[in-house]
């Protein structure tokens, strides 16, 4: 076994030092009589305890914090779930379009264990670390306030997973990522957010593959079996930008506050909705109130940060956890 361990260490070192491997690349090795071993390629980083905030973020230096959003080996939950709201949000930092790493208006505020996102500024509450292979639970409900060009519009937010690259590369606000959409009438839509950094010019590519149908208006919807909304046979598509709507999204959806579609499974405004995002290898599955609403595979990258959006609507979150795969209670 010592020989296998030495070989794995040498391969890992070569992967980290080689430009041929992208961040989050994975390879699988087969050993006769020993089974399979999967390696993920992430550049070497100093070990960090979980939980905690790296010194560069604790110092609130923008340059250091920007670097801290790139190239960290992912944490894979084991044992007890990781509570992202615990310890005064010490696992998180905020990035807002207008004030960047400062939050003077308390867009994100934790009180009595419940996170309030005012929506007053556009931005994100982002994990300090990268994560992979987890079962995320997020329980949320809408508040009353909407802001700016979202006043009177459908309340909007979202959880970004597998987020990579610097902060603010998407519209000066968010990160390259896969978005699990939270919007009235569209909770569970999947979006691919490929970005380009305005400072370096570097592109941060994101992609996903899914089987889709087309609805009445030609919109792409996840091809769930026995979907009465579908109007075409299913087909496989790969996207690096754009969206795959959840299977029951109402083709008569309108961008208005309080919209509810005929098949919506999210709870009515003011009531708690449970959204689960299961990231297993290169697959992502989304459940809303226990109903499977979307699924994709061949996802790239396969790990990254998580980010809760502030997007012009007040929203409350009472639970945001990362469970080990296969261990979530009913």
What tens digit of pLDDT does each residue of 53-106 get? 333 344 333 334 444 445 679 999 999 999 999 999 999 999 999 999 999 999
Q: How confident is the model at residue 168 (pLDDT cuts 50, 70, 90)?
A: very high
Cβ proximity of 233 and 258 under 8 Å: no
265 vs 221, 259, 260, 261, 275, CA distance in Å? 15, 13, 9, 9, 10
- Residue-level pLDDT at 66: 45
DSSP class of residue 96? E
Same domain, 146 and 277: yes
86 and 31 in a single domain? The answer is no
Percent of the chain predicted with pLDDT > 70 = 76
Chain mean pLDDT for the chain? 84
The verdict on residue 237 lying in a domain is yes
In this predicted structure, the answer to whether residue 23 has a pLDDT above a threshold of 60 is: no
Kindly report which listed range (58-62, 219-223, 296-300, 319-323) carries the lowest average pLDDT score.
Answer: 58-62
Question: Are 21 and 127 in a shared domain?
Answer: no
Domain co-membership, 4 together with 131: no
Shared-domain flag, residues 165 and 117: yes
Residue 329 lies in a domain: no
pLDDT over 50 (residue 3) = no
> What is the arithmetic mean of pLDDT over 267-293?
98
Q: Is 306:135 a contact under the CB 8 Å cutoff?
A: no
**Is residue 148 a part of any domain in this protein?**
yes
Same domain, 34 and 141: no
| 55 is a domain residue | no
Give the number of domains in the chain.
2
Backbone angles phi, psi at 173, to 5 degrees: -130, -55
Inside any domain, residue 161 = yes
33 vs 265, residue with greater confidence: 265
| Per-residue pLDDT, 227 | 64
pLDDT tens digits along 125-148: 999 999 999 999 999 999 999 999
Query: What tens digit of pLDDT does each residue of 213-268 get?
Result: 999 999 999 999 766 666 678 999 999 999 999 999 999 999 999 999 999 999 99
Q: Which pLDDT band, with edges at 50, 70 and 90, does 328 fall under?
A: confident
What is the Cα 120 distance to its own chain's centre?
A: 21
CATH code, domain carrying 137: 2.60.120.560
Domain assignment present for 178: yes
> Has residue 187 got a pLDDT over 90?
yes
Residue 25 belongs to domain spanning: 1-44
State whether 173 and 72 are in the same domain: yes
Contacts of 165 (CB under 8 A, 6+ apart): 69, 70, 175, 176, 195, 197, 202, 204
Bridge partners of 108, per DSSP, are 117
- Judge whether 90 lies within some domain: yes
pTM value is 0.81
Do 146 and 195 fall within a single domain? yes
Taken in order 96, 102, 103, 108, is the CA torsion positive or negative? positive
Strands (E), 106-199: 108-111, 114-117, 123-127, 134-146, 156-164, 176-183, 190-193, 195-196
């Amino acid at each position: 076994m010592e020989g296998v361990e030495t070989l794995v260490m040498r391969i890992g070192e070569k992967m980290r030092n080689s430009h041929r491997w992208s961040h989050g690349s994975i390879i699988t090795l087969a050993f006769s009589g020993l089974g399979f071993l999967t390696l993920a390629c992430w550049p070497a980083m100093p070990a960090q305890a979980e939980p905690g905030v790296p010194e560069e973020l604790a110092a609130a230096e923008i340059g250091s914090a920007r670097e801290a959003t790139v190239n960290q080996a992912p944490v894979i939950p084991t044992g007890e779930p990781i509570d992202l709201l615990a310890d005064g949000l010490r696992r998180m930092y905020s990035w807002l379009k207008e004030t960047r790493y400062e939050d003077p208006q308390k867009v994100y505020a934790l009180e009595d264990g419940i996170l309030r996102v005012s929506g007053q500024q556009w931005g994100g509450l982002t994990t300090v670390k990268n994560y992979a292979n987890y079962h995320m639970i997020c329980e949320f409900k809408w508040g009353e306030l909407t802001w700016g060009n979202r006043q009177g519009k459908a309340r909007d937010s979202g959880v970004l997973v597998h987020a990579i690259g610097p902060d603010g590369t998407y519209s000066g606000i968010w990160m390259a990522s896969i978005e699990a959409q939270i919007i009235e009438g569209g909770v569970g839509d999947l979006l691919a957010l490929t970005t380009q950094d305005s400072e370096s010019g570097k592109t941060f590519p994101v992609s996903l593959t899914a089987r889709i149908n087309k609805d009445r208006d030609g919109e792409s919807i996840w091809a769930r079996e026995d979907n009465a909304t579908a109007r075409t046979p299913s087909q496989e598509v790969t996207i690096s930008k754009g969206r795959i709507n959840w299977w029951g999204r109402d083709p008569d959806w309108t961008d208005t506050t309080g919209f509810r579609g005929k098949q919506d499974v999210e709870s009515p405004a003011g009531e708690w909705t449970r959204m689960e995002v299961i990231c297993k290898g290169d697959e992502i599955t989304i459940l809303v109130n226990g109903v499977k609403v979307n699924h994709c595979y061949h996802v790239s990258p396969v790990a990254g940060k998580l980010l809760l959006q502030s997007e012009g609507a007040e929203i409350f979150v009472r639970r945001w956890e990362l469970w080990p795969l296969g261990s979530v209670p009913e």
